[in-house]
Structures are given as C-alpha cells and as structure tokens.
Amino acid sequence: MKTVWRTIGGSVRKAQSRSAMTFKRAVLACAATLVAVLTPVSASVAADAPLTPEASAAKVAAEQLMTAKIEWRGPSSSSKPIVGKRIAVVSCCEAADGAARASRAMVEAGKALGWQVNVLDGRGDPQEQNKALNSAIDAKYDGIVLEFVDTTTVSDGVARALKAKIPLITLGTLKNTPDSIPDVSWDYAKHGEALANYMIWKSNGNVNALILLNTDLYVTRNGQWVGTKNVLTDSKKCKDCKVTVKEWAMANIDTQPSSIASAAVQANPKINWTWCFDACMSRVSRALVASDLAAKVRGAGFDCNAESLQLIKDGQVEAVCAADPREWDAYAVIDNLNRLMQGQPTVNQGIPVRLFDKTNIGMLSDYEMSHGWQGGYDFRAAYRKLWGVQK
C-alpha cells in the first residue's frame, strides 16, 4: 500500500491510498459487526440467566423480609414511670455504632421519663464490662442495662447485682445466665436466614462466603450466624455454597476484620461475599475499596446503621443489610425496666425486622439514612402515650 502525506489547515497528516483505505474500512466494519453482535448476547446471558430452583426459593424468602408490613405489636399499657430514677447502661462497645445508637436512645427515653441515664463503655473487653457493671452496683443505681454484654462474661457482677436486688435487664443477648434476667431481642436467626437467602438469590446459588465471626457476642454466634449457617450449609437450599469462617475480637474491630477480609479475598479470588454485623462490615467495605478489591466481592451485614445504608446506596461493597430498629429496641428496654422497677413482669415488645438493599432503600427518610432504620413506625409517640408523658 502506497502512503502519501498531505498538509491540511497548517498541520501535516498521513493519508493512505484509496485501496488501503477501502481495506481498513472493511476490517473496521467487520470488527464493529462482531462487537455489536457478540457483546449484547453475552451481556443478556448474564442478565437474563434463569434462576436455579434453589435461587428462586431463596428470592421468595428474602423478598418477604423486604416487603413485610410494619405495625405496632408492642404492649397496650404500661405503669406510669416514677420520676428521678438513676439508670446505668453498660455498653459492650461504644465504638460500634449499633451499640452507640441504642445507648443514645436509652438516654433520650430516660430523659422523657425524668430519669438520669448514664452510659458506661465496656470497650469491647469483658474485663472492662465487668468493671463497669461493678461500678454501677457500687454507685447504687436504681436499674442496670447490659447492652450486648453476655451475662456469662460478667458473671460475678451479675451475681452482685442480683444479690443487691438491683433490677437488671439486657438488650440483645439472646440467652442469659441465670435465665431469670429478662432480655429485649428480636428474631436474630431470621436475620441470618434472610441474608443467606439474599446471597443465594443474587449469586444464583453460587455463593462463596467469607464469614467474619466475632468471638465476643453470644447473640451473633448463636443468632444471626446460626440462621445463615443453617441455610448456606443445607445442600437442598444451596448445593454449591461454600463457607469460610474467620474469627476476630471486638477489641480489634478497627483493624482485624478488614485485614482478614483483604487478605482472604486476595488469596482466594473465588470469594464473592463477606458477612458480619454493620460496624464490622462498614470497616471491611472501606478497606476493600481502598485495596481495589471492591469489584470482586459483595457484603452482607446486619444492623443497617447509617454508614452501611450509604455504602449500599453508593454500591460500595455492602449490598444488603438486615435491620432491627435499634432506637426502638432501646425504648423497649426502658419500658421493660420501668416494669421491673415496679415489681411487674416484662412483656414481649414486638420488635420488627427488615431487609434492605439498593432496590428498597429509597423508602427510607433522610433522617433514617443519617441515623439508621427507625422501624417504619412512630414508636417514640407510641411509648410516650403508654407512659403518659410529653416530648
């Protein structure tokens, strides 16, 4: 092919002979045709691939928790609170937003009742939690809340509180020792099952999950994880699911889960899901994004804290979260503690649960996006009415 040079508009450009140009156009046209034909086909196969029977069943199960109707199922009456009570909230770890949300709401609810509510941070350390519990007993508080603190890890403090006849209640511990200590909880296993079903659905039955299992929280090990494990390890529900479990300690929440996840995803490119509660998942998501691993894996979390909701909205690793309305939980604890301090039995508070992903996150208000899901119901007004108090 003969090449000639032409000057156009003051610049020098290379031109080819007519035969060369004709040949080039033919090649480009052929290539364009191949791209036009092949690309849509491969994309449509991925997008329109039929769900397996297992994935179809998982889709139905997950969607039920994404659309369930929310209504008040809490108590219909409550005793008028006694003003001036002093309450200690022993929190597992205020660095975890799921705990901090509940703590703030208990302070808020207590203020409405004319109570003084003080939060004692256990810092993710059973020794610190036990120390905080014992200090509350020494200070002769009128009531004590253990927030995501396992009673078995603070057993001597629990024994002292019971001996001193200080009303004691827990939030989110699932099972207490002794079992006479009341707990406010929701359906943790249902949370875990919903997350597992969502993963199966969205991966069409091809799940390779990294479970980041906290070693300190009884409720996580025996609640959400049990629900998820029962689904993912059931060959009838997911014959091709694979699960890898890595443990970490609450005291190391800022570094350990994200380090484990980054290393695991780099070592095993087949991992396509990570799983842990949201205070962990938000850290993991940020780490995977920073390491350019975000495209390789999706995250399934629980709590639906504000940061995780934004990550889901932005498509930053976390794709789904199972929610309980943490502030509603806190008001429920205060209501039952009021009953305990008046010598009455506690009641079922009817805490709702929900599953959120990018498709239904738009139903959340701006307030919920910045504070976490509130339950889709004005629970604050409902409790204030029960208590006979104003805002």
Q: Whole-angstrom Cα distance, residue 1 to residue 107?
A: 84
- Model's pTM, two decimal places? 0.84
Cβ neighbours of residue 224 under 8 Å, at least 6 residues apart? 188, 189, 191, 192, 195, 277, 302, 322
Q: Rounded mean pLDDT of the chain?
A: 89
Q: Whole-angstrom Cα distance, residue 100 to residue 92?
A: 9
Tell me what pLDDT residue 28 has: 38
What DSSP assignment string belongs to 139-161?
TT-SEEEEES--GGGGHHHHHHH
Report the range of poorest mean pLDDT among 40-49, 56-65, 133-142.
Answer: 40-49
Whether the predicted pLDDT of 43 surpasses 50: no
Which residue is listed with tokens 């994004």? Answer: 289
Residue 323: φ, ψ to 5°: -115, 145
Beta bridge partners of 244: 210
Average pLDDT over residues 162-168: 98
Tell me what pLDDT residue 48 has: 60
Whether the predicted pLDDT of 370 surpasses 70: yes
Average pLDDT over residues 84-98: 97
Tell me what pLDDT residue 287 has: 97
Whether the predicted pLDDT of 38 surpasses 50: no
Report how far Cα 236 is from the mean position of its chain's Cα atoms.
26
Average pLDDT over residues 182-208: 97
CB environment 288-297: b (16+ within 10 A), e (fewer): beeeebbebb
Whether the predicted pLDDT of 46 surpasses 50: no
The DSSP code for 197 is: H
pLDDT above 90 coverage of the chain, percent: 85
Q: Whole-angstrom Cα distance, residue 288 to residue 278?
A: 15
Name the pLDDT band for 49 (thresholds 50, 70, 90).
Answer: confident
**Among 230, 197, 232, residue whose Cα is nearest residue 66:** 197
Whether the predicted pLDDT of 111 surpasses 50: yes
Judge contact between 144 and 90, C-beta under 8 A. yes
Name the pLDDT band for 81 (thresholds 50, 70, 90).
Answer: very high
Report the range of poorest mean pLDDT among 64-68, 206-210, 254-258, 281-285.
Answer: 64-68
Tell me what pLDDT residue 1 has: 39
Query: To 10 degrees, what angle do helices 256-267 and 278-290 make?
Result: 50
Average pLDDT over residues 164-190: 95
Three-class secondary structure of residue 252 per DSSP = helix
Judge contact between 386 and 75, C-beta under 8 A. yes
Helix (H) or strand (E) holding 213: strand 208-214
Q: Whole-angstrom Cα distance, residue 83 to residue 348?
A: 24
**Among 265, 266, 267, residue whose Cα is nearest residue 275:** 265
Q: Whole-angstrom Cα distance, residue 103 to residue 109?
A: 10
Give 281-338 pLDDT, tens digit per residue. 999 999 999 999 999 899 999 999 999 999 999 999 999 999 999 999 999 999 999 9
Give 113-141 pLDDT, tens digit per residue. 999 999 999 999 999 999 999 999 999 99
Give 239-289 pLDDT, tens digit per residue. 999 999 999 999 999 999 999 999 999 999 999 999 999 999 999 999 999
